[in-house]
Structure 1
């Protein structure tokens, strides 16, 4: 177990985003979620139960970026919520696993970007696609629309991740359902899904206009 933890710590530091890509690039701040044995075991259990994937470490090969909004709370309250390894106050998800929801990145309303997990570490954020998807949460919601600064910050992060990994798809959480019954959808429970509306159609249109040269797909 100690060797697994050491490997994951090394993975975390080798996957850090540089603090400053250029003088005009936003800073990427590190707010790491603790990679304790509980989270590791729960992640491995989720991967096996939902996708039939059996591995020694809960790592992924990212092919997709999924954008979300938090709907409520502040940056700090959401980070604190994600830190717990066990799920709480989400009865709609408890049948799926006790692993807490989380994301690899979270972006505040002023465009500040924070990394919570290594970009190739498994996170529970999008049913059916977690095994290949990087999740990006944005502070805001239906009553608190995402900002222009968040559009720019997401575009920057997407460009960075697309250079680092073989990213093929960029979707909003509301668009994930279209991947059901395709080769990318791996969840073994055909009835396990929820309806989502985040991060909003207008936000996705604005963002896609900024990264259209990357030619990322939004459907299978």
Structure 2
């Protein structure tokens, strides 16, 4: 799977004032999939369905399955559409977990309490931090994106996601 490089220049121009799809990572954004398998997330991303009426569709650089295997879907030097306002500076990691009618906090606790997945998430984030010099304060949950110092969206769009909460991210960041 690759990020839709053909449509990125227009998207990047409208939202970030740039026509480049190239990513120089400065932030890591953690999400959860709202599905039970990494294949389900992959299938969603590979369909490249318009999001908010725009292409490219939603994607993530990594999907981390419940057994702790990280599946890289997009090269780290390409933008991926996972977080409004930060796609131009952020690596996106989707962690496999559905809420099953429960809250986002419940889903996050399932992930943090699943040793193989939680340890793999910490290891992946540490590896990316080391490779790109990303500070722990720049490892955020999707729910924290609108308040991040690098957030920008020229169309005024904002995130409405509740995954990962500040409380869960505080726990995750303490493990880094």
Within-5 A mapping of 1:19-168? 33-34=1-2, 39-55=4-20, 58-87=21-50, 93-95=51-53, 97-142=54-99, 143=102, 144=107, 145-146=110-111, 147-168=114-135
- State how far apart, in whole Å, the 1-side matches of 2:63 and 2:25 are: 17
- State how far apart, in whole Å, the 2-side matches of 1:102 and 1:208 are: 23
- Secondary structure, in 3 states, of the residue corresponding to 1:140? coil
> Is contact 2:145-2:159 (8 Å) kept?
no
For the pair shown, the structure with the greater C-alpha radius of gyration is 1
- State how far apart, in whole Å, the 2-side matches of 1:53 and 1:201 are: 30
- State how far apart, in whole Å, the 2-side matches of 1:129 and 1:112 are: 25
Structure number with greater CO (CA < 8 Å, separation at least 6) is 2
Check if 1:170 corresponds to 2:139. yes
Gaps of 5+ in 2: none
How far off its partner does 1:206 sit?
Answer: 3.2
- State how far apart, in whole Å, the 2-side matches of 1:34 and 1:195 are: 26
> Is contact 1:152-1:207 (8 Å) kept?
no
TM-score, normalised by the number of residues in structure 1: 0.68
What count of residue pairs does the alignment treat as equivalent? 164
TM-score, normalised by the number of residues in structure 2: 0.84
> Is contact 1:141-1:198 (8 Å) kept?
no
How far off its partner does 1:165 sit?
Answer: 0.8
Give the 3 Å change call, closer, same or farther, for CA 45–195 of structure 1 in structure 2: same
Give the 3 Å change call, closer, same or farther, for CA 60–34 of structure 1 in structure 2: closer
Please, what is the CA RMSD of the aligned residues? 1.8
